[in-house]
Amino acid sequence: MSVHSEVKKITTHVLQEMKRSGEKISMLTAYDFSLAGIIDDAGIDVILVGDSASNVMAGHETTLPITLDQMIYHASSVVRAVKRALVVVDLPFGSYQGNSKEALQSAIRIMKESGAHAVKLEGGREVKESIERILTAGVPVMGHLGLTPQSIYKFGTYVVRAREEEEAKRLIEDAHILEAAGCFAIVLEKIPAALAAIVSQEVKIPVIGIGAGNGVDGQVLVLHDMLGINNEFHPRFLRRYLNLYDDIKAATAKYITDVKSRDFPNSKEQY
């Protein structure tokens, strides 16, 4: 019997138990009540209210513009739908870097105003103090290393990170720093699979990958990407389970035709 099928509510301790027993963790993003309710009902373990909402919900080119208020709006919509999954919320750009007191205030606002269960933030040693301070308030923290989209203007591109030895060594050190600081899990984004597997073996906390291969403890994808709502994004790591862009477009075209031709509504579809 898997941990997943026995548990009524996913907690950070359940994720730890999944890693210990070798059961992979499933995680997806969600930003709204309707889709969060469906993926929770399907049995997803973790729902990330990602700052990727800035891209997929608001149409921004990067994750930088989304605000703390907007993240809280998305998070509270998701929390209202969720019965079982652990809900983790991204601390947005500018709400935690360089000032651990502000990081704590931002995390407290998210927890108090949305009812979420944990926060996530990007970076390694440079955010250690923020992580430790957030934890003093009892708020669980998930780390995020590798390609960290809030630093896109420093990287200059979205290519695979840590291919070179020096960056790979630093990433492994950062993973240990995040674990020692008290993170309950780490997301690794777009790094070589072999490196991600080493990190997963070296730390005791769960490591959840996106574009980080199969040697980690779980996988996360952006929901809109795996459902094929966004038809312009085709990275190698993405598996599409639906092609909703084409399905929604075809359904909309059919609806337009039915309205124009007076086929809709018919006699059974009216009062």
Check binding of 174 to ligand KIV (CB under 6 A).
Answer: no
Check binding of 91 to ligand KIV (CB under 6 A).
Answer: no
Check binding of 210 to ligand KIV (CB under 6 A).
Answer: yes
Residue 269 designated active-site: no
Helix (H) or strand (E) segment spanning residue 254: helix 244-260
CB of 1 to ligand KIV, least distance (A): 29
Q: Check 189, 202, 232, 269 and give the catalytic one.
A: 189
Check binding of 216 to ligand KIV (CB under 6 A).
Answer: no
Check binding of 90 to ligand KIV (CB under 6 A).
Answer: yes
Helix (H) or strand (E) segment spanning residue 39: helix 33-41
Among 46, 110, 160, 187, binds ligand KIV (CB under 6 A): 187
Residue 205, C-beta contacts closer than 8 angstroms, at least 6 positions apart: 16, 19, 179, 183, 184, 185, 186
CB of 183 to ligand KIV, least distance (A): 14
Among 50, 124, 140, 228, binds ligand KIV (CB under 6 A): 50
- Which residue has the closest beta carbon to ligand KIV? 50
Among 222, 226, 227, 229, binds ligand KIV (CB under 6 A): 222
In angstroms, the Cα distances linking 141 to 53, 75, 178, 184, 205 are 19, 16, 9, 6, 12
Q: Which residues of 7-26 are buried (b: 16+ CB within 10 A; e: fewer)?
A: eeebebebbbebbeeebbbb
Query: Annotated catalytic sites, by residue?
Result: 189
